[in-house]
Amino acid sequence: MLDVVDMNAARRALLKHCTALAVALAAAAAFAQGAPTQRLTILVVGDSLSAEYGLKRGSGWVALLEQRLAQEKISATVVNASISGDTTSGGRSRLPALLAQHRPTHVLLELGGNDALRGLPLAMTQANLDAMAQAAKAAGARVLIAGMQVPPNYGRKYSDDFAALFAAVAKKEDAALVPFLLKGVADGPQAASAFQADRIHPREEAHAAILANVWPVLKPQLLLR
C-alpha cells in the first residue's frame, strides 16, 4: 500500500512539474516573439484627420490601424474618440471621462491643427497637450503624440514654433512622437491631389500614408511591457 501511495504522489509531482514547465515555455515563446501578454486598448483622441471627415466609414487611417493590428496578430481594441473640429482644449476636457471609461493601455493624441486654424496661442496648445499626456500617464497608459505642421503662409516663426511644440511635449512627458502626421501627404509631390476640395482634409487614398507614419512609432510601444 505504501508503494502505491508513493507512486501516486510521484505521479502528481511529475504532472505538476510538467504543467509548470509548459506554462513557462509558453510564456518564454510569447516573450521571444515580442507578443503583448495582455489585451491592449488604444485610445485615439483626435480631430477630423482621425474622424474620417468627408470619407466613407471605415476608410480612415484609424480603421486601417485596426486592420494592421489584425494582420500583425496583435490583440488590441482601438477606440476612436476623435471629433471633427476639436481643439486641444476640447480634448483636454474630454480625456478624463475617456480614460475612466476605456482604461486604455495606450493613448494617441492627434490634436492641435484646429488650434492653429483658430489662431489660438501656442502656449495654450502646448499646455493642453502637456496636461493630456500627464493625465494619460497617470492612468497607466503609454502616450504617443502626432505632430502637425502649418503652411508657410502662417509666417516662418509661427510655423517653426508650432511644429516644435509637439516635440517639446513628447520630450518633457517621455512620450513617443510622430514628427509630422501628414508627412508624404501634405509635403509630397502629389500634395495637390492628396486632399479633398477643402484642401485641408486628406482623401481616402492618402490615409494609408498617414498610417505608414504612425505604425513604425506605435508598434514598438505596443510591444513594451
Quick one: CA torsion of 69, 71, 73, 74, rounded to 10 degrees? -10
Alpha-helical runs (H) found in the chain: 2-32, 61-71, 88-102, 113-117, 122-138, 156-173, 207-223
Q: Are residues 58 and 27 in the same domain?
A: no
Which residues sit opposite 77 in a β-bridge? Answer: 41
Q: Which domain holds residue 174?
A: 38-223
Q: Are residues 95 and 11 in the same domain?
A: no
Return the C-alpha cell found at 64.
486601417
Distance, in Å, from the CA atom of 101 to the CA atom of 197, rounded to the nearest integer, reads 36
Return the C-alpha cell found at 86.
476639436
Q: Are residues 102 and 164 in the same domain?
A: yes
Q: Are residues 153 and 215 in the same domain?
A: yes
Which residues sit opposite 177 in a β-bridge? Answer: 145
Mean pLDDT by 10 residues, the chain (225 residues): 46 50 43 58 98 94 98 97 98 98 98 96 98 98 97 91 98 98 91 89 94 98 85
Catalytic residues, by residue number, are 48, 198, 201
What local confidence, expressed as pLDDT, does residue 121 receive?
Answer: 96
pTM strictly above 0.75: yes
- First and final C-alpha spacing in the chain: 51
